[in-house]
Copies of this chain bind each other. A is one copy, B any other.
Amino acid sequence: MLIRPMRPDDFDAVWPVLRDIARAGETYALDPGLDRAAGWALWGEAPRATFVAERDGAILGSYYIKPNAAGPGDHVCNAGYIVAPAARGQGVAAALCAHSLAEAARMGFAAMQFNMVVASNQVAVRLWRRHGFLIVGTLPGAYRHATLGLVDCHVMYRTLHDQAG
């Protein structure tokens, strides 16, 4: 698996993954009717950097890094990860997360924060914990899950001091 910067033409493969995750309404706080232009703005333009994981020419997943806040808060970054359905359960998210931690440190960020980790997404919570994130707080009922109704969200945070930088 190669993780490299996303090129504009990669978005043909990234977009259906992002669109279906938005539509599903189970893991991300995205407009379920997100269209491709808004998806590109969100995933390709707004972030400081966007990467894809590729194997044999197929896009397995993608992640972005951006400052989580402006000005005096811009040393803390935020990242988001998506994995193509056919590539799930193969360690792609773990590889993307590990890559993002090193990349964020290299870019000069001091910490990484996830603002809304949907508590019912236990695979993700476990994965982020394994990558050094702590649950710093839990927002009661902050997510309207498509099938579970109101579920809690975790705010997760980790410093990047252990990363090469």
Contacts and interface: CB of A to CB of B under 8 A. Distances in A.
Contacts of A75: 144
A136 B137 CA distance: 5
Given A29-B71, A30-B71, A72-B25, A157 B143 contact: no
Interface stretch (A11-19, A50-58, A107-115): A107-115
A140 interface: yes
Given A72-B25, A145-B72, A113 B139 contact: yes
SS class, residues of chain A in contact with chain B: strand
Interface residues of A, number: 37
A111 B137 CA distance: 16
B136 A138 contact: yes
A46 interface: no
A99 to B, nearest CB: 23
Interface in A95-134: 110-111, 113, 115-116
B140 A137 contact: no
A22 B32 CA distance: 34
A69 B155 contact: no
Interface string A20-32: 0010010011111
A28 B69 CA distance: 10
A142 B22 contact: no
Contact of A73 (B29, B71, B138): B29
Interface of A: 22, 25, 28-32, 34, 69-76, 110-111, 113, 115-116, 135-146, 153, 155, 157, 159
The 7 closest A-B pairs by CB, nearest first: A137-B137, A29-B73, A136-B137, A29-B69, A72-B144, A31-B71, A31-B70
